[in-house]
Structure 1
Amino acid sequence: MSGNEFDLVLRAGRAVTPEGERAVTVGVRDGRIAAVEDAGAALEGARTVDVAEDEVLLPGLVDSHVHVNEPGRTEWEGFASATRAAAAGGVTTIVDMPLNSVPPTTTAEGLRVKREVAEGQVAVDVGFWGGAVPENSAPGATGELAALHERGVFGFKAFLSPSGVDEFGHLTPDLYRSATAAIGALGGQIIVHAEDPTLLDSAPQAHGADYAGFLASRPDEAEHEAIRLVIETARRTGTRSHILHLSTATALPMIERARADGVPLTVETCPHYLTIAAEEVPAGNTSFKCCPPIRGAANRDALWRALAEGTIDCIVSDHSPSTPDLKTDDFGSAWGGVAGLQVGFPAVWSEAAERGHSLADVVAWMSSGPAKVAGLPAKGALAVGRDADFAVVAPEASTTIDARTLQHKNPVSAYDGRTLKGVVRATYLRGDRIDLDKPAGRLLDRP
């Protein structure tokens, strides 16, 4: 290092650390944070970066719920475009969902194919979830779950209602219990799309441009009752269980009671549930369609209270893109999914700041929270020993989102035209500033 103590030294008048926001001098060595000192500390580095006065140094954000779709539906999104979008949004680690790609990540062979196509084209670090489907979840047929666990997936995703793609089937309650027990025996975690199919089938079916009709087709009760099954199964098996994309506040009391009882349960929600209300969705604009759905303003307020109280552990994008032709103006037939990976931070920060929350709160929800849920001990904090992953943000600067200029493969976004506060000006991975044209991310295994 030519006599320099560190590879990189960053000096920031404002930084979010586990101890709170403060002025720091950070030393990076061999891709890890080697020192976090007070401002003015005389650290020497081969490179020095002075964070501007209007900027704040954050740990890199972690998004543990991203649908990359490659291979098989790469025209929807791919590893190159998704990870460039992540980096542009201050996200330094993503965990890829096991469906919407073909083959899905439900077998060791599916994981091998997925890793093979991702290698060499990722701009940020990427881990992988496995999938629990009928073929690998029945008693006596769980060998592929064990094989995926051995090969380093971070856990297993299951649907309790149809997933929307034929190659990733949903689990009946009995199959869900079987899969959860098998995953628990491996020491693994199950993550769950929780909507009850019987209640969905009995609800009025969505059609046309009316968002209220779509909302009625995915009632709170369907989500609530499926979460009840998740809690009861986690209580009985002791398997770590995670509720994906919570949209209904009706389940919060049940979740609070389960956690108070020591049930191993964690919960996430998403930026679109926190920043958009059903009353605001324009007729026929299916860029807002997702499952479970964006609900009303009062429900949104309750989700924010649950975040503040710690009932909800983290905020992740559930980035679920598609080609524009699948986003017709019919809420019944259009593809369901919000593309929001790049704009998650400004969307959440804009709303959080209005509600009196701090950048430290947002870091807890969008960095350390998802890192803990996924099991990424090297990520999620500006602290000694962690990976030197950083986002440099200008919290008071604003930008108007233009879907055509996002790094996402397709110009479809529920945030198109919205002016948001919080601009990501630079993103660092293991101490190197990310160059979107020179992918240097790594494929991660479960520690």
Structure 2
Amino acid sequence: MTRHDLVIRSSRVVLPGGERPAAVAVDGGRIAAVGGRGDRLEGTTEVDLGAVALLPGLVDTHVHINEPGRTEWEGFATATRAAAAGGVTTLVDMPLNSLPPTTEPRALEAKRDAARGQVHVDVGFWGGAVPGNVPSALRPLHEEGVFGFKCFTSDSGVPEFPPLPYERMREAFAEIASFGGLVIVHAEDPAALAEPGDGGYPAFLASRPPGAERRAVEQVVRLVEETGARAHILHLSSATCLEPLAEAQARGLPVTAETCPHYLTLAAEDVPAPHSTAFKCCPPIRDAANREELWRGLDGGVISCVVTDHSPCTPELKKGDFATAWGGVSSLQLGLSAVWTAASARGHGLAAVVRWMAEGPAALAGLDGRKGRIEAGADADLVAFDPDETFVVDPAGLRHRHPVTPYGGLALTGAVQTAWLRGQVVDLDGPPRGELLRRPATEKGEA
């Protein structure tokens, strides 16, 4: 009998075909075999999880790490510890709010230099599309292995990453389509946005109405139709966008969308008055009726991914009111538990959560051949997750750099017990073993 490096057994293993009792054998960092729970698979190390579920490691394609340049907001060491603690074993870093932003190859190399030796999970990088680098820097960044290109239709919040006006967006889409790349879009129409007024949450919410998202999404759909580019809508908060997205997808246009745990689990009615700015993000958390429509969009497949949009800053930048505070929700460590709490209450099982938080993001990034699923040949990125354990969120226990979160004090169900990266237990206080990833078509490895 072949002795494997590691064998993990559980009565609840979430496989591509659904959840069942199984044993997972690992050799050389890859999954070697998946058998029945009682199969005679022998491992140098054997783990029996009992009724604790075994999931594929989550893939979070929307994380702002901010290093270099704004490392006091968040850094690779702290962000990747938080990721692993929350069951995320692969993440893709956004091209802002670091300095310099990832809008040219030299800036990408600065990101990689900053990350080397610090990452506890595998990390890839998005590039940026801004007026100053369209189209000249897009193909070189693509050839250097970025996973795609982020652009804004409205103000990004940082001056070094300005939005693309419509004609420059069209130019970027056409160029990216020419080499088969992916555009990811922060979609809010600036003409529909307003000043947030008195600084309270109702005024902030009114300043970024649902129609601002819908108009920008419709613009993206037109650009996809005109140029043939693949596009992905980031952090969808308005359910009014589901109709144009569903229509585009029905016509076979390559446009997808994601939403985030805070849009699925929180609601405008939950925001304490008057200045609970941990809840501030753009686009905003909307009302409970809108939230339920987003769940229906997930259930129907119009939305294919749930990712965190972990966007931290220093506590000082979160002070003040909703007119002036930094917009961003920190939830990298809590996303799985938050989504599972809400999903299970609505009758969804673990297989659905894995589809949204592992399989879908892996497919978006082109990593579905090796990440986001438990099957032979995939990386042995695995998570032991107790779906029945409950806990109250204590911000002081979070691993990201600053303990600011709208989930503080909330009771959640489902807790990560252990994460394995390529078959090795992730030791949050030990040496980092993560790797830096390139887009699979040009994967060159990292020194």
Name the TM tier (shorter chain).
Answer: over 0.9
Partner residue of 1:252? Answer: 242
CA distance, structure 2, for counterparts of residue 310 and residue 223 of structure 1:
19
Other structure's SS at 1:135 match: coil
- Shift of the alpha carbon at 1:143? 2.5
- Shift of the alpha carbon at 1:275? 0.2
CA distance, structure 2, for counterparts of residue 399 and residue 62 of structure 1:
23
Where in structure 2 are the equivalents of 1:276-425 lying within 5 Å?
276-283=266-273, 284-376=275-367, 377-425=369-417
1:76 to 38, 59, 73: 73
Identity %: 57
Q: Verify: 1:95 aligned to 2:92, yes or no.
A: yes
Other structure's SS at 2:387 match: strand
TM-score by length of 1: 0.97
CA distance, structure 1, for counterparts of residue 437 and residue 136 of structure 2:
22
Structure 1 ranges of 4+ moved more than 4 A: none
- Shift of the alpha carbon at 1:46? 1.3
CA distance, structure 2, for counterparts of residue 172 and residue 119 of structure 1:
35
Other structure's SS at 1:126 match: strand
CA distance, structure 2, for counterparts of residue 209 and residue 360 of structure 1:
41
CA distance, structure 2, for counterparts of residue 4 and residue 44 of structure 1:
7
CA distance, structure 2, for counterparts of residue 208 and residue 381 of structure 1:
47
- Shift of the alpha carbon at 1:52? 3.1
Partner residue of 2:149? Answer: 156
Q: One-letter code of the match for 1:305?
A: R
CA distance, structure 1, for counterparts of residue 183 and residue 394 of structure 2:
36
Given that 1:208 and 1:329 are in contact with CA atoms closer than 8 Å, whether structure 2 keeps it comes out as no
Given that 1:209 and 1:285 are in contact with CA atoms closer than 8 Å, whether structure 2 keeps it comes out as no
- Shift of the alpha carbon at 1:207? 4.0
- Shift of the alpha carbon at 1:409? 0.1
1:172 to 165, 186, 201: 165
Given that 2:278 and 2:405 are in contact with CA atoms closer than 8 Å, whether structure 1 keeps it comes out as yes
CA distance, structure 1, for counterparts of residue 199 and residue 144 of structure 2:
44
Other structure's SS at 1:8 match: strand
Q: How many residues align?
A: 437
Q: Verify: 1:106 aligned to 2:103, yes or no.
A: yes
Q: One-letter code of the match for 1:165?
A: V
Other structure's SS at 1:428 match: strand
- Shift of the alpha carbon at 1:404? 1.3
Structure 1: tracts of 5 or more residues without a match:
none
CA distance, structure 1, for counterparts of residue 192 and residue 18 of structure 2:
44
- Shift of the alpha carbon at 1:209? 4.5
Partner residue of 2:128? Answer: 131
- Shift of the alpha carbon at 1:251? 1.2
- Shift of the alpha carbon at 1:208? 4.2
Partner residue of 1:227? Answer: 217
CA distance, structure 1, for counterparts of residue 2 and residue 407 of structure 2:
45
RMSD of aligned residue pairs (Cα, Å): 0.9
Given that 2:308 and 2:335 are in contact with CA atoms closer than 8 Å, whether structure 1 keeps it comes out as yes
Structure 2: tracts of 5 or more residues without a match:
441-447
- Shift of the alpha carbon at 1:329? 3.3
Given that 2:24 and 2:33 are in contact with CA atoms closer than 8 Å, whether structure 1 keeps it comes out as yes
Other structure's SS at 2:269 match: helix
Given that 1:4 and 1:46 are in contact with CA atoms closer than 8 Å, whether structure 2 keeps it comes out as no
Q: Verify: 1:7 aligned to 2:5, yes or no.
A: yes
Q: One-letter code of the match for 2:388?
A: E
Other structure's SS at 2:290 match: helix
Q: One-letter code of the match for 1:290?
A: C
Given that 1:130 and 1:154 are in contact with CA atoms closer than 8 Å, whether structure 2 keeps it comes out as yes
Given that 1:289 and 1:338 are in contact with CA atoms closer than 8 Å, whether structure 2 keeps it comes out as yes
CA distance, structure 1, for counterparts of residue 424 and residue 50 of structure 2:
18
Given that 1:13 and 1:39 are in contact with CA atoms closer than 8 Å, whether structure 2 keeps it comes out as yes
CA distance, structure 2, for counterparts of residue 221 and residue 175 of structure 1:
22
TM-score by length of 2: 0.97
Q: How far does the alpha carbon of each residue in 1:50-109 deviate from its partner, in whole angstroms, 9 at most, with x for none?
A: 1133x1000000100000000000000000000000000000000000000000000000
Other structure's SS at 2:133 match: helix
